[in-house]
Chain A
Amino acid sequence: MILQGKTGNWEIICGLEIHCQIISKSKIFSSASTEFGVDANQNVSFVDAGMPGQLPVLNEECVRQAVKTGLGLRAEINKYSEFSRKNYFYADLPQGYQITQFVHPIVGEGVVTVDLDDGTTKDIRIERMHIEQDAGKSIHDMSPSKSFIDLNRAGVGLMEIVTKPDFSAPEEAGAFLKKLRSILRYLGTCDGNMNEGSMRCDVNVSVRPEGSHELRTRCEMKNVNSVKFVMQAIESEAKRHIEVYESGGTVEQETRQFDPVSGQTKVMRKKEFAHDYRYFPEPDLPPLVLNDEYIEKIRCDLPELPDAKKERFIKTMGLTKYDAAIICENREVAEFFEKAAAGHDGKKVANWLMGDFFAMLNRKNLSVENSPVSAENLGLLVELIESNVISGKVGKEVFEIMSETGENPQKIVEEKGLKQVSDLGAIEAIIDKVIAANPDNLNAYRNGKTALKGWFVGQVLKESRGKANPQLVNKILDEKLA
């Protein structure tokens, strides 16, 4: 994206750092639970509370999840990695340091392909990913003079994913976050929930004159907590830089905060107060060494990821790129679709899924996992329409009943006598009856008011309670009206 300034055009350069909570039962260095939403300080071990003499012991599941995520990011897995201490004082960090990885992270360079709105794709390069412990939670709004500290989150495993500065537009960053969330959910390594804080994003932004290759001072916005806000933060921060440069100023390297209410960023921490973390190797944990066999075992167990699934749905199930992208964003939806489409027309099932089915879920505020209409029954409904047992219109009626009762569409069609009438004699009889009852309209039609054809079709369908096969009605009406 090119931003127009007063003195010329400017390019945006942006990179992201994303903290993703690892899905595991217990914390990364202790055996306290990671469960969200329990009473304050219930899920806290003495390790998490930073008690003297307590030693961290690495959770093997967190390592496995990190390797799985690295493979999902098409990244290099480092067989040798190390833990480090990052030192700073804050009330919700009882140890006075965070155990993280610094020089040797567990995951190296990777790549994520994002789908942009104009139908093109762009590769976003991953710089690295490391694992670390989360801090506790400070609550500042319970008292005017005090802060309240809950350590339930302290020690929960995090994966920090750092991208290269590959984003040149807010939309690219938005598309990346959606894709990353989709990949993490497919892998089952992070639930990707930004509003609950299980995925948190830091945004780095700088600008430069269009076409130049320089790198100017960047500013970092911490903890931006929705895809929309990330996009807004990039744009407003880039515009701020341009204004500063065009009025002859210089951008200071600083940490800023995005305020969703004003849509602007404000300074949080100047460079002179920047943290000095004094990293050093963590003396309580030896280096983490993995072998090929371990990594390959995890690679073999990887689920099919969104890109591969999308390709397959386009190639073998007749979906358009657009349909496939929507259906594959969410693993549960993709699996539901695949079950529903088994043995039926994939494209037709996709249309139903993205139309009436999604509308029904929205209306009832349900997710696909607890849909009253099962995948098998949705497939059967499409089949009933495709094989002309019922019309599309009756199909919608049947679908409504299914979404109330969860019943099998075949059963509904039979019990309610909704089968489409394709018997020529029966349709002819209805048409004769309608024509006989409306001689005026017949005359008007024969005198050139041919638009009345639609009215006759409507009357016949109505008379048949929607069951007459519309193609046959049309054909026979043409003969009778002539």
Chain B
Amino acid sequence: MAIDTQTVKRIAFLARLKIDDDKIEAAKDEFNKIIDWVEQLNEVDTENVRPLTAVNETKLFCRKDEVKEGNQSDKILYNAPAAEYDYFVVPKVVE
């Protein structure tokens, strides 16, 4: 599998990363190196191995349904670039 410059641009857009046009080629090569390296895994025979989604196969720990946090808008908003009336404020986003 090889990554082309179009894919690099697409991924950069999805990740909201700005890559200057003159850096796209270099980023493409980086990507392909990473992919090649990971693709070594294809050499392993996984015929009878069941798919694994978590390396740490611990039992899922659940929480009781209790309210223990809240009423801390000052802390929640502390690092917000802009806040008004206890709301986060962002440039207008309407889809």
Binding site for B on A (CB under 8 A): 24-26, 30-33, 39-46, 49, 57-63, 82, 87, 89-91, 138-140, 143-151, 268-269, 276, 278, 281, 283, 285-289
Q: Are B88 and A149 in contact (CB under 8 A)?
A: yes
Q: Are A40 and B85 in contact (CB under 8 A)?
A: yes
Q: Are A43 and B70 in contact (CB under 8 A)?
A: yes
CB-contacts of B4-24 with A (<8 A): 10, 14, 16
CB contact under 8 A between A285 and B76, given known A42-B70, A89-B16, A151-B88: no
For A96, the closest partner residue in chain B by CB is: B16
* Residues in chain A near residue B57, CB distance under 8 A: 286
* Residues in chain A near residue B53, CB distance under 8 A: 82, 281, 287
Q: Are B89 and A147 in contact (CB under 8 A)?
A: yes
CB contact under 8 A between A286 and B67, given known A40-B87, A151-B88: no
Q: Are B70 and A44 in contact (CB under 8 A)?
A: yes
A257–B14 CA distance with the chains assembled, in angstroms: 23
Q: Are B87 and A283 in contact (CB under 8 A)?
A: no
A91–B71 CA distance with the chains assembled, in angstroms: 21
A281–B57 CA distance with the chains assembled, in angstroms: 13
At the interface, is chain B mostly helix, strand, loop or mixed? Answer: loop
* Residues in chain B near residue A90, CB distance under 8 A: 93
Contact with A along B25-54 (1 / 0, CB 8 A): 000000000000000000000000000011
Q: How far is the CB of B16 from chain A (nearest CB, A)?
A: 6
At the interface, is chain A mostly helix, strand, loop or mixed? Answer: loop
| Additional 11 contacts, C-beta under 8 A, given A42-B73, A147-B93, A148-B84 | A31-B63, A41-B73, A41-B88, A42-B86, A44-B76, A46-B76, A148-B85, A149-B88, A149-B90, A151-B88, A276-B10
Q: Are B58 and A286 in contact (CB under 8 A)?
A: yes
Q: How far is the CB of A152 from chain B (nearest CB, A)?
A: 9
A57–B86 CA distance with the chains assembled, in angstroms: 26
Chain B interface residue number, banded = 35 or more
A288–B74 CA distance with the chains assembled, in angstroms: 35
Please list 23 pairs of residues, one from A and one from B, whose beta carbons are closer than 8 Å in the complex, sorted by A's number.
A26-B66, A31-B67, A32-B69, A41-B76, A41-B88, A46-B75, A58-B61, A58-B62, A59-B63, A60-B65, A61-B65, A82-B53, A90-B93, A91-B93, A146-B82, A146-B91, A147-B89, A148-B85, A151-B76, A269-B95, A286-B58, A287-B60, A289-B59
Q: How far is the CB of B17 from chain A (nearest CB, A)?
A: 11
* Residues in chain B near residue A139, CB distance under 8 A: 87
A51–B61 CA distance with the chains assembled, in angstroms: 21
Candidates B61, B76, B89; contact of A57 at CB < 8 Å: B61
